[in-house]
Amino acid sequence: MRLVSYGPIGCEQPGALVDDQIVPLEPWLAEFGVSGAGMNAVLGLFSVLRSDLEGYVAGSADQGIAVATTRLGPPVPRPPTLIVIGGNFHSHVQEMAGMNGGKPPIEPIIVPKPTTNLVGPTDDIGKPAVTSELDYEAEMAVVIGRSGRNITREQAMTHVAGYMNIQDMTARDLILPEGEPWMHLQMGRAKGFDGSSPCGPWLLTADEVPNPQDLEICMWVNDELRQKGSTSDMVVDIPGLVESVSAVFRLRPGDILITGTPAGVGAKMTPPRFLQPGDRIRMSITGLGETGNTIVAAS
């Protein structure tokens, strides 16, 4: 199933995308007494009420909203937690060897991001005036459906609701200000600005992804292919990430793990090529559709 959120910024409603029609899911949630709970509730109920939801969507498809007539927002507009996993693709670790010696981390690097990072799949991206080195990172998001703490590797995939495209944009010049020691690394500042993570256009539920560790990731800037990799290149796979992160804090329905990026970032081109207002960025992952966003000067 392709799950979406639609409507004005900040007022998105949950839906299911069937062909080019959105079936609103708010009436379905109301049947279970959780009206207004949004996509997080849909994800939390999906594993136990999947057949009921599928029947509702099938029976309501002719009453849908044409996707061309509305805005698609982030599939999960209000996740409880948004987490980046740093250094989790072998190819990216190698291209960033100047920072890490070419060695992947011993444990997955957990970088919390503000949930205000999230924007829709076609929304504009404001380039903050404070950075001159805005860079792209095309990544796959793993979205949690079942709560859990200390989840074992063997049980990890039963907690995954689905997958979606997401950008983890980074202001490279804010990571470590000149003259600062490595102890003062500023990953939260470099990755934390509002609207820096366009995602979607839909969340594809896990039952429709036979092997999430064999999906192609592509990233274009102004129609120039910059990144082309595979989720098979992850340092730590999805079960390992769920196990590792849930050992630190409880995962909840709607939580998003951003799982790493392949080689090809602008910072490692010769010379480096960073994003500027007017640039058009696109990314796609097998089965997860495509995002397309324009970089604009932040107001």
What are 128-137's pLDDT values in tens digits? 999 999 999 9
Query: Does residue 95 surpass a pLDDT of 70?
Result: yes
d(CA 137, CA 281): 11
Q: Are residues 288 and 156 in the same domain?
A: yes
Same-domain check for residues 143 and 255: yes
User: In the chain, which ranges are E strands?
Assistant: 2-6, 13-18, 21-24, 65-66, 82-86, 109-113, 118-119, 125-127, 134-135, 138-144, 160-167, 170-171, 197-205, 216-221, 224-230, 256-258, 280-285, 290-297
Structural domain boundaries enclosing 13: 2-69
144 CB-near residues (< 8 Å, 6+ apart): 43, 159, 160, 161, 242, 251, 252, 253, 254, 255, 256, 257
Give per-residue pLDDT as tens, 180-227. Answer: 877 888 889 999 999 999 999 999 999 999 999 999 999 999 999 999
Q: Are 245 and 257 contacting, i.e. CB atoms less than 8 angstroms apart? A: yes
Q: DSSP H helical segments within 61-155, as ranges?
A: 90-95, 97-100
CA-to-CA separations, 85 to 14, 116, 273, in angstroms, rounded:
27, 18, 24
Which two structure tokens, joined as six digits, stand for 158? 């039963």
The angle formed by the CA atoms of residues 36, 253 and 208, to the nearest 5 degrees, is 105
The DSSP bridge pattern shows strands 256-258 and 138-144 to be antiparallel
20 and 94 both lie in a single domain: no
d(CA 135, CA 279): 12
The yes-or-no verdict on residue 99 having pLDDT over 70 is no
Least confident of 88-102, 104-118, 227-241: 88-102
Q: Are residues 251 and 281 in the same domain?
A: yes
Q: Is residue 62 part of a domain?
A: yes
**Of 59, 111, 108, 145, which Cα lies nearest the Cα of 243?**
108
CA distances from 274 to 69, 71, 170, 281 (A): 33, 28, 10, 12
User: Is the same domain home to 58 and 190?
Assistant: no
Nearest to 258 by CA among 147, 166, 146, 144: 166
Residue located via tokens 């979607």: 200
Instruction: Write out the two tokens for 173.
Output: 């010049």
Q: Are residues 131 and 256 in the same domain?
A: yes
SS3 232: helix
pTM of structure = 0.96
Q: Above 70 in pLDDT, residue 30?
A: yes
20 and 105 in a common domain: no
**Is 27 domain-assigned?**
yes
pLDDT at 55 over 70: yes
Q: Could you give the CA distance from residue 147 to residue 134 in angstroms, rounded to a whole number? A: 34
Dist CA 276 CA 294 (whole Å): 10
Distance CA 196, CA 187 (A): 14
Residue 208 pLDDT? 97
Q: Would the pLDDT of 173 be above 70?
A: yes
pLDDT of residue 104 exceeding 90, the answer is: no
State pLDDT tens for residues 249-263.
Answer: 999 999 999 999 999
Residue 82 lies in a domain: no
Average pLDDT over all residues of the chain: 95
Residue 132, domain member (yes or no) = yes
Same domain, residue pair 131 and 277? yes
Q: What φ, ψ does residue 142 adopt, rounded to 5°?
A: -100, 125
